Chain A
Amino acid sequence: MRVMVAMSGGVDSSVVAGLLHEAGHEVIGVTLQLYDHGAATARKGACCAGQDIHDARRVADRLGIRHYVIDAEDRFAKAVIADFADSYARGETPVPCIRCNQTVKFADLSALAIGLGAERLATGHYVRRIDGPDGAELHRAADPGRDQSWFLFATTRQQLDMSLFPLGGMTDKRTVRDIAQRLGLGVAEKPDSQDICFVPSGAYTDVVAKVRPDALEPGEIVSSDGRVVGTHEGIAHYTVGQGKRLGNAAVVNGRRQFVIATEPTRRRVVVGPRDSGTRLVSLRDINWLIPVPEEPVRCTVKLRAHEPPRTARVRTQDRHIIVELDEPALPAPGQACVFYHADRVLGGGFIARTNA
């Protein structure tokens, strides 16, 4: 069948293209040009495309498959980068990779795939798609260390139906690199990508500063009873749960302090001891990957990409979704809360600001 493969130029999606081609499918490789690489790295004369697009094209050449570069700069700037900066300005901690998966990758690429007559859209994500009685199910990857299911909770059921994740069953990365080697792909030993792709220097606040300078204006750090205990250099530096970058406010009355809230309108960061957590988490932009449940659901939830799952109950209240955690936590607004039943993703949403 005709399969579109989203190729980033990294080893994972390259191997996906290689495996599908080897299996006899008609593979169409597509690489998204997400931002002007030359401008992002501030290197004069650098090509807008960067090395990754070159690598993806060379892999396609080697495999002998079709390959196209899609200009998604405008869409990415609006749907991902602007949203990223706005979210920080609202006092949240966004997950741009989820937004990108949700918009540019799955929404737009599956639309293009359908338009080009492809039956499937394959990516190099480490998740498993399993056909169940109610359609396609999303499951954690076989390799728990590489599982990316948290980042894909917002994929719609329709999109999931046409997705393929050939790496979900790989037990370790070495196997993937070995396949790349066997297929003669130049990217076999290319290092894994790090962090946020459009922040090459690693200083995400530089990007925020360009789009939303207001998120980097100084303000006060206050304790939960409103006392000023320090100052900060912009709320974009803070995430709920964070214990760093608090200066004099790091310890109050002999107790270690953590960010428990941000107040963007007053430009304040609120700190408190670790046990100031909450059991109730309110979510927005819910996506269910199971038929919408009518009864509360017992499940495990993950409030951050890299943390062990917590037990909880998810219920609907006035069309809002409320997660009741068994143990209190410090959920960060803007992050995702993803529901699991064992390895299966049931759905999820973005953590809403409770005092917004």
Chain B
Amino acid sequence: MPGAAMHYLDANATQPLRTEALQAIIAALAVTGNPSSVHQAGRAARRIMEDARDAIAARFSARPQDVVFTAGGTEADAIAIHALAPGRRLIISAIEHDAVRAAAGEPLILPVGADGVADLPALETLLGDGTPSLVCLMLANNETGVIQPVEQAAAICRRHAALLHVDAVQGGGRLDVSLPALGAHSLAISSHKLGGPAGVGALLLAPDAPFAAPLTGGGGQERGRRGGTQPVALIAGFAAAVAASQSDDRAGMARLRDIVEQAALAAGAVVCGDPGNRLPNTTCLGLPGVRADAQVIALDLEQIAVSAGAACSSGKVAQSHVLRAMGLGDLAGQAIRVSLPWNVSRQDVEAFAVAYPRMAARLRSPLVPHAA
């Protein structure tokens, strides 16, 4: 069975919990109190929560009053679309996460190029008809790591009086992100993608963003934008992770990612997406002719945890809509994603560099009748 020697290279699915986050959670769990309560216990809880809000707001150059705590990235995207979309047509990029795709209904699709980058002239054309619109463009793609031209997209949107929502679940905490500098109207971030606990995230709003109605009004928490008692301990852990992520060594991370990539390229893999414009921790490796699920399983048997496509909750590996949108054809079902966590070690990537060619040789062997 999998055990001690696992090499975890699936950060874009979830990151290991940072020590700072764990300590903050434990400390906050010991505090009894509902942040909405009047008494001193409520005040104690509220103080923890508001300190966290201030810290997160500061990191993304937002105002604390514009930070809405949510149950995670998916809910932040859903609230944003629910609050910003009324009276507007939706345009989403072809590579958005299911969190956006599911909330968007039947939107217009903004195409991406073979490099995985959204097509800005197409956005200009789509918005050119003057219809009031909400555009959704992610900051960095979860499968390829390719960073999207959000600033330029925001400029185009603002020129056409359209709104822009940015799913920054992968980019937030791994890039320097400033909401005003991006020019977006809202930004979704997730705690566990940057080393905090799962179950909490935030929607950051620009001061000029409209907010039609909450998804769940409840008791009016979060200034009426998201009802429900806030999970104070998770929020404290979230803020601690955001703070800790600031001292991550991104250049070092990219060097380790390059070791992964070189080993795979030498074994016949191709890198999917613009290699010069990615999150430092992510690479998407296509292995022509070999099913992605077989690659993930074979690597798991070698104690290496990676993923492929959009993992359904059933556990099956479905074909990637992202790679399909990039026009990669069959390769869309033959690519794995390697994403290095904040605490990745040289041993981890070296283990991958040994296991990958072995996996590729075995699954490409003529002894293996070609499975479906």
Contacts and interface: CB of A to CB of B under 8 A. Distances in A.
Contacts of A110: 369
Interface stretch (B88-96, B109-117, B263-271, B312-320): B312-320
A111 interface: yes
Q: Report whether over half of chain B's contact residues are helix, strand or loop; otherwise say mixed.
A: loop
Nearest to B363: A115
A111 B362 contact: no
Nearest to A31: B315
A64 B363 contact: no
A304 interface: no
Contacts of A57: 315
Contacts of A107: 369, 371
A68 B292 CA distance: 13
Contacts of B2: 66
Interface size on B, as a range, is 20 to 34
B293 interface: yes
A107 B297 CA distance: 18
A104 B362 contact: no
Interface in A96-123: 104, 107-108, 110-112, 114-117
A28 B301 contact: yes
Given A71-B293, A116-B297, A47 B313 contact: yes
Given A71-B293, A115-B363, A33 B368 contact: no
A181 to B, nearest CB: 23
B314 A115 contact: no
Given A115-B298, A116-B298, A69 B372 contact: no
B362 A47 contact: no
A74 B314 contact: no
A343 B314 CA distance: 40
Given A33-B316, A111-B369, A68 B362 contact: no
B315 A69 contact: yes
B367 interface: yes
A115 B362 contact: yes
A33 B313 CA distance: 12
Contacts of A111: 368-371
A65 interface: yes
Contacts of B371: 107-108, 111-112, 115
A196 interface: no
A329 interface: no
Nearest to A76: B372
B1 A112 contact: no
Interface in B261-319: 293-294, 297-298, 300-301, 312-318
Given A66-B2, A108-B372, A116-B298, A71 B316 contact: yes
A183 interface: no
Most buried by A among B2, B297, B298, B363: B297
A66 B300 contact: yes
Nearest to B298: A116
B1 A71 contact: no
A68 B315 contact: yes
A75 B372 contact: yes
Interface in A245-260: none
Given A48-B312, A57-B315, A66-B2, A104 B372 contact: yes
B125 interface: no
A116 B372 contact: no
Interface in B317-372: 317-318, 362-363, 365, 367-372
Contacts of B370: 111
Contacts of B318: 71
Contact of B315 (A28, A53, A104, A114): A53
Contacts of B367: 114
A53 B294 contact: no
A70 B297 CA distance: 10
Nearest to A33: B316
Contact of A66 (B1, B313, B363, B368): B1
A159 to B, nearest CB: 10
Interface string A190-225: 000000000000000000000000000000000000
Most buried by A among B293, B314, B362, B369: B314
B136 to A, nearest CB: 23
Nearest to B300: A66
Nearest to B319: A71
Interface in B19-64: none
B312 A49 contact: yes
Contacts of B314: 33, 47-49, 53, 69
Given A69-B314, A70-B316, 6 more contacts: A53-B314, A71-B293, A71-B316, A112-B371, A115-B298, A117-B301
28 contacts: A33-B316, A47-B313, A47-B314, A48-B316, A49-B313, A49-B314, A49-B315, A49-B316, A57-B315, A64-B1, A65-B1, A66-B1, A66-B2, A66-B300, A68-B293, A68-B297, A69-B314, A69-B315, A70-B316, A71-B293, A71-B316, A107-B371, A108-B371, A111-B370, A112-B294, A116-B298, A116-B301, A117-B301
Interface of A: 28, 33, 47-49, 53, 57, 64-72, 74-75, 79, 104, 107-108, 110-112, 114-117
The 7 A-B residue pairs whose C-beta atoms are closest, nearest first, are A49-B314, A75-B372, A69-B315, A71-B316, A111-B371, A69-B316, A111-B369
